[in-house]
Structures are given as structure tokens and as C-alpha cells.
């Protein structure tokens, strides 16, 4: 189980887990899951990275945010969270529905996404 906190973003509650230090990796769960799908992987990654997992707005213990639910809308929410966390650039790991906003963000704002970072090869391989 991940240790979580509730943060306020856009005047809404978002359940988040922050682990480790270093290059940021954001873990994006799918539907209908929540952030605890990452409860075994996140601690392992936190030995080398700053790991952030959260419940998407409207899922798990996070409040819904107004607006659409397309991958591009979810990517906009992710940018808002990155801005609030003061993260300029992060690696994104998405599964199922979480992969779609990761790809949308990489397409729309490639400067916000880390790809091919040398540290990833050692941690993942």
C-alpha cells in the first residue's frame, strides 16, 4: 500500500503519493483502477527516481474536475498537476487509459516529457 496525501489542485482534492528523489516519473493508472495499482512498482522505482502516483480527477479518492474526459483533456489536467508540483519535465508511465493522456501530452507538449533518459536504462533493464 502506498502512503498518500490529499492535495488541493484547482480547488479540488487529489489523492497523491510522492516517493523518492531524482528524475521525476509520473505513474498514470488506467480505468477503473486507482493509484494503488502501482503499489509494488512505485517503491522499487523510488530508489532511483522521484515517483508520483495519483488518482485521476474523478477516480479513486480524487474529486472530479470540470471539463471533458478525452485524452487531451486529461493531458491538460496532467500539465496543471506538473505545474503545481513545479516539475518542468517528467517521464510518464501509463497503463490502459493512463497511456492515452501520456501520449497526448507527449504530442502536444513534447518539451514536458523525458524520453530516452540514460538513468532509465539502468533502472528498467
pLDDT digits (tens, 9 = 90+) for 24-67: 999 999 999 999 999 999 999 999 999 999 999 889 999 998 88
Count: domains in the chain: 1
Which is more confident, 55 or 124? Answer: 55
121 assigned to some structural domain: no
Say if CB 65 and CB 30 are below 8 A apart: no
Going by C-alpha positions, the residue among 29, 24, 37, 36 that lies closest to residue 101 is 29
Which pLDDT belongs to residue 27? 98
75 assigned to some structural domain: yes
93 assigned to some structural domain: yes
Burial class of residue 46, CB neighbours in 10 A (0-12, 13-18, 19+)? middle
| pTM (2 d.p.) | 0.91
122 assigned to some structural domain: no
CA distance 8 to 43: 24
124 assigned to some structural domain: no
Going by C-alpha positions, the residue among 31, 9, 35, 26 that lies closest to residue 105 is 26
pLDDT value at 83 more than 60: yes
Most confidently modeled range among 52-56, 68-72, 115-119: 52-56
54 assigned to some structural domain: yes
CATH number where 101 lies: 3.40.50.1820
| Domain residue limits at 90 | 5-116
Amino acid at each position: 500500500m502506498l502512503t498518500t496525501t490529499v492535495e488541493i489542485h484547482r480547488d479540488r482534492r487529489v489523492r497523491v503519493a510522492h516517493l523518492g528523489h531524482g528524475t521525476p516519473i509520473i505513474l498514470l493508472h488506467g480505468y477503473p483502477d486507482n493509484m494503488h495499482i502501482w503499489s509494488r512498482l512505485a517503491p522499487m522505482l523510488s530508489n532511483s527516481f522521484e515517483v508520483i502516483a495519483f488518482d485521476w480527477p474523478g477516480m479513486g479518492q480524487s474529486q472530479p474536475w470540470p471539463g471533458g474526459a478525452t485524452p487531451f483533456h486529461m493531458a491538460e489536467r496532467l500539465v496543471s498537476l506538473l505545474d503545481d508540483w513545479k516539475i518542468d519535465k517528467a517521464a510518464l508511465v501509463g497503463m490502459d487509459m493512463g497511456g492515452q493522456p501520456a501520449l497526448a501530452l507527449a504530442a502536444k507538449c513534447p518539451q514536458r516529457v523525458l524520453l530516452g533518459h540514460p538513468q532509465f536504462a539502468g533502472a528498467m533493464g
